[in-house]
Amino acid sequence: MNVAPEVMTEDLAPAELVTRCRAALGEGARMQFMYAWFPEGPLAPELRYVLHPGRGRPPHIWRCHPGNEPPPSLAMCAPLLSWYERETTDLCGVVFRGQPLPQPLVLLPGTTADRPPLVPGPLPHLSYTPSPQDLPQLGGTTREDVQLLPFGPIRADVLESALFTFWYAGETILHYHPQLFFKHRGMERRFEALSPMLGAVLAERVSGIGSVAHTLAYCHAVEAAADCEVPRRATWLRVVLAELERIYNHLHYLGHLCHTTSLKVGEAQGKYLEESAKQINCRVSGSRLLRGLITPGGLRREPQLATLVAGLARLESEFHRYADQLAATTSHLDRLMTTGVLGRQLAFDQGATGPVERASGVDRDPRRDQSYGAYAELPLRIAIGESCDAYARQQVRIAEVFNSIAIIRIVLAGLPEGRLRTECRPRPRSEGLGWAETPRGTAYYAVHLDADGRLARVKIKSPSFSNWRVFPYTVHDSNMMDYAINEASFGLTVAGCAR
């Protein structure tokens, strides 16, 4: 099978995985995700491990055929892989030897399936028997000391389904357990048997507020499988769309963060600016969420850029005042500082991504480190936080709004002429890996095609899946009054996690 030439692929025996993982981490590499698929039928899973060796170096893929023996878990040397292994067990039936948390992740307590959902063949039959959660026991306390608060899965307002269980004494949260995956959309299975071109329409809908970045990562994977060279003008215009998406997401984030600190004027202003940004999007693309433009091989049509410069100038002026007002509002800042501290090493080990990891001092952004499209030609300023708390996460996003506006101006000033699209037809049994930096972190798509040139397997690594895994570490030993602020500072989405 063909893999993008910039991606290094290597076959490893199961017995080599732990040793190679430790060696790679010792050299500064970072595991990104893993998954399983079935190129030779339902009885022969193939495992794929994707890692990033370091800045300026291409991603590596480890390919492993475990046969009839359970493969070793890598969760003890690369903790961020724990959720991916548990997901693979639930959805693909592959059990990992030595997995430290063998409980189901995606299948809720009491749920059974007659066959793993992503194994080739008919869809499984799911059955459910009400069952209590398998919750941890807290030592060192008496029953009278600790209160148990289950919150969800149906929550007020328009929040997505999730069950959050708190163990607390007074205002102190001793332990926190999030249970997600109440809605099974089956997005990865929905890609199967689609044409690569039609798959882009589905990728736009995996995470609505990340439509551009998810489609971009998917198209990069398809283009890698097809050895397709995207016209230069299209790659530059894709940057405009991606940065417009980053701007409106960060504006929404800032308004919502103000909501949790009870800064109502700041909430209203942030959401007003978000609306202004979405109206700019609509004038540029015809869609407030910037859908319908990106496709494998380039763009479907020319964006409407005539009013973009003036619109961004007005937005930037208003955002400057807004950012200055936030910086001068001590009641808001007091609630953010020292809330939800996520240290650098913990962020790295547990797989934090995007503004969350950069606010913890991890200097990583694939737009620079694994450059794709036109980003390799553009000067990028990467915002890095130092205090590792909710305040740092806010400040990183504020800086990224200004940086995104600056990037768009550079693109518009030097936009090359030329075609918007080239033919993109992946060969049968080809494959590709693609990635893009969403407003919440890095999204990866791994695409495999069958003998007819249709999609056989599409694996999605979504940033909220990573950040939801990290988030509980900032809740333990915090307090109930700060919980909503801390959660908002992560910018999490449930739909982006439960695919």
Six-digit token pair at 434? 């693609």
Number of separate helices (H) and strands (E) present in the chain: 16, 14
Q: What is the pLDDT of residues 173-186, one digit of tens each?
A: 999 999 999 887 88
pLDDT higher than threshold 60 for residue 2: no
Average pLDDT of the residues in 226-230: 95
Give per-residue pLDDT as tens, 316-345: 999 999 999 999 999 999 999 999 999 999
Query: What is the average pLDDT across 431-447?
Result: 97
Would you say the CATH fold of 187-490 matches that of 8-117?
A: no
Question: What is the rounded distance in angstroms from the CA atom of residue 271 to the CA atom of residue 341?
Answer: 26
Give 348 or 160, the one with higher predicted confidence: 348
In 363-454 the beta strands, taken as DSSP E runs, fall at: 431-438, 441-449
Fold of 187-490: Cytochrome-c3 Hydrogenase; chain B (1.10.645)
pLDDT value at residue 68: 87
Q: What is the pLDDT of residue 74?
A: 98
Residue 177 Cα to chain centre, angstroms:
20
498 band by pLDDT with thresholds 50, 70 and 90? confident
Query: Is pLDDT of 3 > 60?
Result: no
Burial class (CB within 10 angstroms; exposed 0-12, middle 13-18, buried 19+) of 354 = buried
Q: Per-residue pLDDT averaged across 146-166, rounded?
A: 85
pLDDT of residue 335: 97
pLDDT tens readout for residues 106-128: 988 888 889 999 999 998 888 88
Domain ranges of the chain: 8-117, 187-490
Q: Does domain 8-117 have CATH number 3.30.460.80?
A: yes
Residue-wise over 49-75: b if at least 16 C-beta within 10 A, else e?
bbbbeeeeeebbbbebebeeeebbbbb
User: What is the model's pLDDT at position 4?
Assistant: 43
Q: Is the peptide bond before 153 cis (omega within 30 degrees of 0)?
A: yes
What is the average pLDDT score of the chain? 93
